[in-house]
Structures are given as C-alpha cells and as structure tokens.
Amino acid sequence: MATVRDALAYVLKHYPHNARHELSNARVTKMLYLADWHQILNHRRQVTEIDWYFDNYGPYVNDVRVAAEGNPDIFTVHETRNIFGSPKILLALHKHDVEPNLSDQEKASLDHVIEQTKSMSWDSFIKLVYSTYPITSSDRYSHLDLAQKANEYQH
C-alpha cells in the first residue's frame, strides 16, 4: 500500500500539464478515492491507506492536504478562491524529480483515474464520484469500508 504522499506526488507529476491548474485539494482527494475504489475492485486492496469518510461533499478526508502541507520540500499548497468566492486549495509539485514509491498495479489505478477524469468538468467529475457504489449505498457522515463495499458490489 502506498503512502498518501507518494500517491499525491504521482498524480501531480503525471496529470496533463495543460490541466494542472484544476488540481485542487478537493479534486485530488476524490481522484485518490477513485483510485482506491478501482484498486480494491481489481486487486482487493487500496492504493492508499486512507480511511475514507462520506461527508457533505462526498468522499473526503484531510489526509491529502496534510500530506502536501507536511512535505513542503515536495509540494506547494496555494490558497485561492473559486469562482463563487469560496476558499480553494490548489496543490502542485514543487520537486519535479521526485520518484513516488508505487507498485505497477497502484500506478495503473492512478493512471486509469487520470485518463478517465482529465477532461471532465468539475460537475461531470463530481457526478462520477457520486455515482460510485460506496457513495450510492452509504449514508452521509459514515466511514466507507471500501473492502466491504467491493464485496457487496461484486456479489
């Protein structure tokens, strides 16, 4: 299982250059959720060690932002505003020669999520996230046991 730091570094390093301005904490967090869901469906384990929580904004945890802020030699965290004036956290790779420690399977799940979501608008992206089985089958304000949800989904 990869660290959040390594998974985050991989996404920031491999996301298309022309769309990196879209890499908010919220989007990257949900991308890691999608990668964990993809990985557990295909290989019975998550990419990351994140204990996912379903709050008002779908699957969300502070782990991604904490990993970025805790590694200022690798990541840049920039606070800005979205088009509605609400706070928005943008994440970027500060150290471009970083080599994330990930298995080929973990990279494949992250690559899959990047490829499937890179051209999606925020609304389309959120619809995809909200359509996943762990979200459609769980109550808000609950932890998402992805292994249990994968078992339910596949049987």
Could you tell me the pLDDT band of residue 20, with boundaries at 50, 70 and 90?
low
For residue 74, give every residue at least 6 positions away whose Cβ sits within 8 Å of its Cβ, in sequence order, or none. 5, 9, 93, 94, 95, 98
Predicted structure pTM score: 0.95
Phi-psi category of residue 39: left, alpha or beta, with phi > 0 → left and psi -120 to 50 → alpha: alpha
Q: Edge-to-edge, what's the strand order for the sheet holding 142-143?
A: 58-59, 53-55, 142-143
Q: φ and ψ at 63, to 5 degrees?
A: -55, -40
In this structure, of 20-24, 117-121, 126-130, the range with the lowest mean pLDDT score is 20-24
* pLDDT tens figures, 66-88: 999 999 999 999 998 888 888 89
